[in-house]
């Protein structure tokens, strides 16, 4: 069997010949220029061919070097392609299912943070209404409002609340009863969804009879859409803390009154047993719990707009 030249040496030669510089090859391969020179000298000794002419601190390819370069470049490109294919085959895969409102914006905007801290993965992000087909769709982790999936391991992770919020120009800080005179934005999760706290619920908790005002205004079938309507200045919405905290912190929204109304059920994570032992699932679980907790613990939600707000 013919002895093969040093692979590292061939790599050093190919880089130096392609870039036209030992210094550039050294930077590309993260070694010193002296190391590049020594590696190429070793290949010349192993092959019995002189690959560079060294003239006045310049290096010029010999005929043997010119002949070797294109074949080595193709060979290293193919090796790189094989390495990428092998790496892709072993990249972790993760199927995440969340309520539609959370997939469209809240979570999609934050996923880059998970990838940056935990590495690349093949992620499928799904916005699904309950119930979801865990096994048919190979779902690894489901975030849902309420504990829907007792047949799989399920844990409560956070209980959110809703807050009256509006664009800064719509209203200053007012008494709770003053909300009845402003345009209201209603959220209705639809006939198959859980009951979202209504404006009538909020007024009743505040001890206020709003009359017909609690039924007038705009309506949206998702929490995210209601929040966007409020940011646009179209009215006051009852927005979930998990969605509105960031907009309150950066000033796109304000809280005209302090009173909040806790949601009836917690948010829960469900992870089927077939996925629970996977490292990427465990990492995403921890990251998602922290992100949800950070949102509902936002100082903008804890602090009240004024001592007079109920």
Domain ranges, ordered by start, for the chain: 7-89, 93-158+266-296, 161-265
- Contact (Cβ atoms closer than 8 angstroms) between residue 166 and residue 236: yes
Average predicted confidence (pLDDT) for the chain: 86
DSSP code of 197? P
The CATH number of the domain covering residues in 93-158+266-296: 3.40.190.10
Q: Residue 2: its pLDDT value, please?
A: 52
Predicted TM-score (pTM) of the model is: 0.66
The larger pLDDT score, comparing residue 164 to residue 194, is at: 164
Pick from 194, 202, 290, 187: which is nearest to 239 by CA? 187
d(CA 7, CA 76) in angstroms, rounded, equals 10
Q: Do domains 93-158+266-296 and 161-265 have the same CATH topology?
A: yes
Class of domain 7-89: mainly alpha
Confidence label for 59 from pLDDT (cuts 50, 70 and 90): confident
pLDDT tens-digit map of 73-111: 888 888 777 666 554 445 688 999 998 888 777 898 899
Q: Residue 85: its pLDDT value, please?
A: 58
- Contact (Cβ atoms closer than 8 angstroms) between residue 160 and residue 190: no
Q: Residue 22: its pLDDT value, please?
A: 87
pLDDT tens-digit map of 229-251: 999 999 999 999 999 999 999 99
d(CA 89, CA 81) in angstroms, rounded, equals 12
- Contact (Cβ atoms closer than 8 angstroms) between residue 164 and residue 253: no
SS3 105: helix
Confidence label for 307 from pLDDT (cuts 50, 70 and 90): very low
- When mean pLDDT is compared over 42-56, 116-130, 154-168, the highest value belongs to 154-168
Rg, Å, the chain Cα set = 31
Spell out the residues 6+ positions from residue 22 whose beta carbon is closer than 8 angstroms to its own.
16, 33, 36, 37, 59
Confidence label for 216 from pLDDT (cuts 50, 70 and 90): confident
On the question of pLDDT at 304 being above 70, the answer is: no
For the domain 161-265, what is the CATH superfamily, name and number? Answer: Periplasmic binding protein-like II (3.40.190.10)
Q: What is the mean pLDDT of the segment spanning 247-257? A: 94
d(CA 102, CA 210) in angstroms, rounded, equals 31
Q: Residue 158: its pLDDT value, please?
A: 94
Q: Residue 88: its pLDDT value, please?
A: 47
Residue with tokens 């009951």: 195
Residue with tokens 């009863």: 177
On the question of pLDDT at 57 being above 60, the answer is: yes
pLDDT tens-digit map of 1-54: 456 778 888 888 888 888 888 888 888 888 888 888 899 889 888 888 898 887
Burial class (CB in 10 A: 0-12, 13-18, 19+), 284: buried
Give the residue ranges of DSSP H helices in the chain.
7-19, 22-29, 33-47, 63-89, 100-101, 111-118, 199-205, 223-231, 241-249, 273-276, 279-296, 299-302
């Amino acid at each position: 069997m013919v002895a093969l030249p040093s692979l590292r040496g061939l790599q050093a030669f190919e880089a130096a010949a392609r870039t036209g510089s030992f210094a550039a090859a050294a930077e590309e391969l993260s070694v010193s220029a002296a190391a590049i020179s020594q590696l190429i000298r070793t290949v010349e000794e192993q092959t019995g061919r002189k690959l560079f002419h060294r003239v006045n601190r310049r290096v010029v390819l010999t005929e043997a070097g010119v002949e070797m370069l294109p074949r080595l470049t193709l060979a290293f490109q193919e090796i790189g392609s094989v390495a990428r294919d092998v790496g892709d085959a072993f990249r972790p895969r993760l199927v995440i299912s969340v309520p539609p409102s959370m997939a469209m914006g809240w979570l999609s905007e934050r996923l880059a943070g998970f990838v940056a801290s935990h590495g690349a993965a093949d992620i499928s992000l799904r916005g699904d209404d309950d119930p979801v087909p865990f096994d048919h769709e190979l779902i690894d982790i489901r975030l849902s409002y309420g504990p829907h999936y007792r047949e799989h391991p399920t844990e409560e992770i956070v209980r959110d609340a809703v807050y009256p919020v509006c664009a800064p120009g719509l209203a200053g800080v007012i008494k709770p009863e003053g909300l009845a005179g402003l345009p209201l934005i209603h959220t209705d999760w639809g006939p198959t969804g859980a009951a979202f706290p209504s404006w009538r619920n909020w007024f009743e908790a505040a001890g206020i009879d709003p009359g017909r005002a609690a039924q007038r205004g705009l309506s949206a079938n998702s929490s995210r859409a209601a929040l966007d309507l409020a940011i646009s200045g179209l009215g006051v919405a009852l927005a979930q803390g998990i969605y509105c905290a960031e907009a309150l912190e950066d000033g796109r929204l304000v809280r005209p009154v302090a009173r909040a109304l806790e949601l009836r059920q917690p948010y829960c994570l469900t992870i089927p047993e077939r996925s629970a032992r996977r490292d990427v699932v465990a990492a995403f679980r921890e990251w998602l719990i922290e992100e949800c907790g950070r949102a509902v613990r936002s100082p903008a939600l804890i602090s009240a707009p004024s001592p007079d707000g109920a």
